[in-house]
Amino acid sequence: MKITAARSLTLASILKECRERKGIQIIGVIDAAAEGALDDLNRLMAEGMVVEQPGGGLAYVGEGEPVTLIPGAEVEVVHAARGRPVHLLCYLPGAGELREFAGWLRARVKNPRLSTQRLHDTAAAEVVAQVGQLGGILIPAHIFTPHKAALAAASSVAEVISPALWQHVPAVELGLSSDTTLADMLPELSRFTFVTNSDAHSTGKIAREYNLLHLAEPTFRELVMALREEQGRRVAANYGLDPRLGKYHRTYCTICDRRVEGEPPVTACPADPAHPLVLGVLDRIYLYREQQAGLERVVRQRPPYIHQVPLEFVPGLGKQAMGRLLAAFGTEMGVLHRATQDELTEVVGPKLARLVVAAREGRLEVESGAGGVYGKILVET
């Protein structure tokens, strides 16, 4: 969750959205170390609305079921070998560690009130070491995205973060334009758990992608155990966009201003090989698969990746219909995964009910996203 992306976003509004509309029990906020968000957290803790948990994480204990906040920071470093920026997600056990990490960041950024500031004269290894020293974990963000991702800056994670530090890096974030089947093509990534996070910049986009976790309790310690697959804790399922709906699924020609189709990997524009491209995630994965062909693969059983189409993507489903659905079924998760077609029909009529169920079952035709534009669901009229 990216709290500095909009003025309407506050820790309280995020936690309330998780409880009342989304049905989310654990939320990671990667702007929590920004000065305004940290002030907000301090106020909520002083008011007793947010409290530390013995196993780590912060519990939002207002009216209703508690929601666990995992505080963190997204930082940007430069991969010196190629001069490319990389985003890293840093998650800390509690408020004390978050404040200490915020102090460490303050000496390395221009504006500590903003999120995802570039760290001056700081390599990825230094960030990983600092997070590990504070008992936290680090997850490379949106691992394949053409801009500011580890596997855009380099052809392997090991080039950006040495394997000697991977004990602090239990997972990688897939991003909106890939899924488990695609990511698992790369032998190197077999060493990491996959997480599907929404990277939401507004409350409405919370849980656009999310993870089902098997935990004994909703704490930071249990989360880390799940990511490391220890003592039966694990990621039980990943819920995410159909990768074709992601903004960077296919390659895009910036001169022709269009998506470049074809069997992956597409690495040149058919109109002119000299045209600059934004390499799509699908094409990048196929390209790297060829380069990693000699790497050893760790044998593991991945949890199911469940494609979901968020309600905001369903054509014709506006605010009024959304309101009726939430009133009837409690949360967006209830609509997406539990309501039957007959129940949906009673609330929004047969056409929208059919679309919601078809989206749930992956039966809708999709036009792939590219070049920073989301894919579209195509519906016959």
**Which element (helix H / strand E) includes 140?**
strand 137-140
113 pLDDT above the threshold of 80: no
Is the same domain home to 34 and 180?
Answer: yes
Note whether residue 36 is domain-resident.
yes
Cβ 17 vs Cβ 8: under 8 Å: no
Structure confidence at residue 381 (pLDDT): 46
Cα–Cα–Cα angle for 158, 161, 162, rounded to 5 degrees: 65
Q: What is the mean pLDDT of the chain?
A: 91
**Domain end point (choices 197, 217, 244):** 244
10 Å CB burial of residue 219 (0-12, 13-18, 19+) is: buried
List b or e across 48-81, with b for residues whose CB sees 16 or more CB atoms inside 10 angstroms: ebbeebebbbbbbebeeebbbbbbbbbbbbbbee
Note whether residue 374 is domain-resident.
no
Q: What is the pLDDT of residues 247-298, one digit of tens each?
A: 999 999 999 999 998 999 999 999 999 999 999 999 999 999 999 988 899 9
Instruction: Give the residue-averaged pLDDT of 107-131.
Output: 89
4 pLDDT above the threshold of 70: no
Number of folded domains that form the chain? 2
Structure confidence at residue 7 (pLDDT): 58
Domain of 358, CATH number, reads: 1.10.150.20
Percent of the chain with pLDDT over 90: 67
Cβ 115 vs Cβ 74: under 8 Å: yes
pLDDT band of residue 6 (cuts 50, 70, 90) is: low
Is the same domain home to 88 and 232?
Answer: yes
Domain of 13, CATH number, reads: 3.20.20.140
Is the same domain home to 102 and 221?
Answer: yes
Cα–Cα–Cα angle for 330, 334, 335, rounded to 5 degrees: 100
**25 or 334: which carries more pLDDT confidence?**
25
Q: Could you tell me the two tokens for 97?
A: 């560690």
Is the same domain home to 228 and 316?
Answer: no
Q: What are phi and psi of 122, to 5 degrees?
A: -135, 125
Instruction: Give the residue-averaged pLDDT of 357-369.
Output: 86
Is the same domain home to 319 and 232?
Answer: no
Q: What is the pLDDT of residues 287-296, one digit of tens each?
A: 999 999 888 9
The number of C-alpha atoms within 13 Å of 118 and in the hemisphere containing its C-beta is 9
Structure confidence at residue 159 (pLDDT): 95
Q: What is the pLDDT of residues 47-82, one digit of tens each?
A: 999 999 999 999 998 777 889 999 999 999 999 888
Note whether residue 218 is domain-resident.
yes
**Domain end point (choices 193, 222, 244):** 244
Cβ atoms within 10 A of the Cβ of 36, count? 16
Note whether residue 277 is domain-resident.
no
Q: What are phi and psi of 267, to 5 degrees?
A: -125, 5
Instruction: Give the residue-averaged pLDDT of 128-154.
Output: 96
**Domain end point (choices 193, 213, 244):** 244
Instruction: Look up the domain containing 317 and give its range.
Output: 310-363
